[in-house]
Amino acid sequence: MLYAIHFHDNTDAVSDIRPRFMQQHLTFLSENKAVVRAAGPLKEKDGAVKCGLWLVDVETVDQAWGLVKADPFWPTGLRDRVEIKHWAQVFADGQALV
């Protein structure tokens, strides 16, 4: 099942924590490339990063939460709020999938 994971960052922590843990975070994503289909920041109009989005392919929402909590960013306080939603893909590569 596909899940979209929307991270809302703790804006008080962003400037300090993100750069210190970014390489560990990227390594984690690479180590989980079998289930992490896509990941990246969501930027504000001014280019500021305050949110992020992952698209993961796992069987359950609990497995999605397991990924979130295993991410090196998780224990740092960077993440303020996390939303996980089942995503039903209906269009890809120029074609309807249903």
31-52: per-residue pLDDT in tens? Answer: 999 999 999 999 999 998 889 9
DSSP bridge partners of 56: 3, 36
Percentages helix, strand, coil for the chain, rounded to the nearest 5? 30, 40, 30
Percent of the chain with pLDDT strictly greater than 70: 98
Q: What is the rounded distance in angstroms from the CA atom of residue 7 to the CA atom of residue 41?
A: 9
Percent of the chain with pLDDT strictly greater than 90: 85
Instruction: Find the Cα–Cα–Cα–Cα dihedral 57, 11, 46, 39, rounded to 10°.
Output: -10
Q: What is the rounded distance in angstroms from the CA atom of residue 66 to the CA atom of residue 11?
A: 23
